[in-house]
Amino acid sequence: MKKLLMLGGTEFVGRATTEDALERGWDVTVFHRGNHAPPPGVRAVHGDRTAPGGLDGLTEGAWDLVVDTWSGAPTAVRDAARALAGRAGQYTYISTRSVYAYPGPAGLTEDGPLVEGSPDAEATAYPQDKRGGELAATDAFGDRALLVRAGLILGPYENVGRLPWWLNRTERGGPTLAPGPRDLPMQYIDVRDLAHWTLDAAEAGLSGPYDVVSPPGHTTMGAFLEACAAVTGGAAELRWTDPARIAEAGIEPWTELPCWLPPGELHDHMFRSDVGKALAAGLKCRPVEETVADTWTWLRSLGGVAPQRPDRTSKGLDPEREAALLGL
């Protein structure tokens, strides 16, 4: 039986990874601050990685695998990885494609240029923090470190507010601003596919960086929003709108219109990654309709109110701004 130490494990990526490990019959220890309940069936150890002595709960024990989703100061990854290097077989760090220097061309692979980062840095900016975390994991574990560079992550347990906002918006119905073009490719990863591939890859002993996101064109903005409208009851009337009109109105892609980037340099950087390496290593991505439907089922179980990470800004477009653009 594999023994997994999950650093985090109670929200979004960490929770999906923990649940996947439990489904495999693994022995799972979840190390977290105690702010949220972990899935049943794990051994919970409490500690705050940012506090002096915060790792004291992990001074004993050995594991086959550590999975770390940390997004703050790289020093937290550094300290954990150093403390566990002699007692864990492998260290898997959930990173991000944001570690690539901008702008990255369409077709970018894991060999692309990276932002600067340091394992000894305090929290600065998300890309630099994640790159510092990668370096910290690699410094401590060498070729036993797996770097999972995820793209846009969607699915049940989302605590960033992107897909939940679209689901609530389409449920509200009526004329709905749909940012075009309708056939614009969209590249993302379902959190459960990310978790499953990560544990498969770790179990296979893979190391180094992998971009883990769906192939370019796995879905489109049209298929994504039409799935949202269908699963929430069909009351939304999608009004496909040219990106130039959206820009003229001062409406921000990605934040006010979650998951959407207009055609151009930023879209190429974010949504046209070459993920051939991960596909060759077994990555499989479920249909967007399944991701949307399962997230809607989860969101309804919470009364339509998704959890929100305190370190992330709220997402979505003000109804008055939307109505003004649509001429309502």
- Tell me, yes or no, whether 40 and 133 share the same domain: yes
Q: Over the range 157-169, which residues count as b (16 or more CB within 10 Å of their CB) and which as e?
A: bbbbbbbbbbbbb
168 CB-near residues (< 8 Å, 6+ apart): 299, 304
173 CB-near residues (< 8 Å, 6+ apart): 233, 235, 236, 237
Is residue 195 assigned to a domain? no
Is residue 297 assigned to a domain? yes
Q: What is the CATH number of the domain that holds 90?
A: 3.40.50.720
Say which residue, 156 or 309, is predicted with more confidence.
156
Residue 170 backbone dihedrals phi, psi, to 5 degrees: -70, -30
Domain enclosing residue 168, as ranges: 158-186+216-272+287-326
Q: Are 127 and 145 in contact (CB under 8 A)?
A: no
Is residue 134 assigned to a domain? yes
Q: What is the pLDDT of residues 215-263, one digit of tens each?
A: 988 999 999 999 999 999 989 999 999 999 999 999 999 999 999 999 9
- Tell me, yes or no, whether 83 and 143 share the same domain: yes
Q: Are 195 and 19 in contact (CB under 8 A)?
A: yes
Task: Using the 3D structure, point to which of 92, 125, 150 is the last residue of a domain.
Answer: 150
Is residue 246 assigned to a domain? yes
pLDDT at residue 306 above 90?
no
- Tell me, yes or no, whether 125 and 181 share the same domain: no
Sign of torsion over alpha carbons 236, 242, 248, 254: positive
Would you state the structure tokens that stand for residue 319, as one six-digit string? 């109804």
Is residue 277 assigned to a domain? no
pTM for the whole thing?
Answer: 0.97
- Tell me, yes or no, whether 165 and 230 share the same domain: yes
- Nearest CA-CA partner of 2 in 126, 88, 84: 88
* pLDDT at residue 89, rounded to an integer: 97
- Tell me, yes or no, whether 315 and 182 share the same domain: yes
- Tell me, yes or no, whether 103 and 238 share the same domain: no
- Tell me, yes or no, whether 122 and 11 share the same domain: yes
- Tell me, yes or no, whether 144 and 165 share the same domain: no
Total domains in the fold of the chain: 2
At which residue do the structure tokens 């969209």 appear? 186
240 CB-near residues (< 8 Å, 6+ apart): 178, 179, 180, 181, 182, 222
Task: Using the 3D structure, point to which of 106, 129, 150 is the last residue of a domain.
Answer: 150
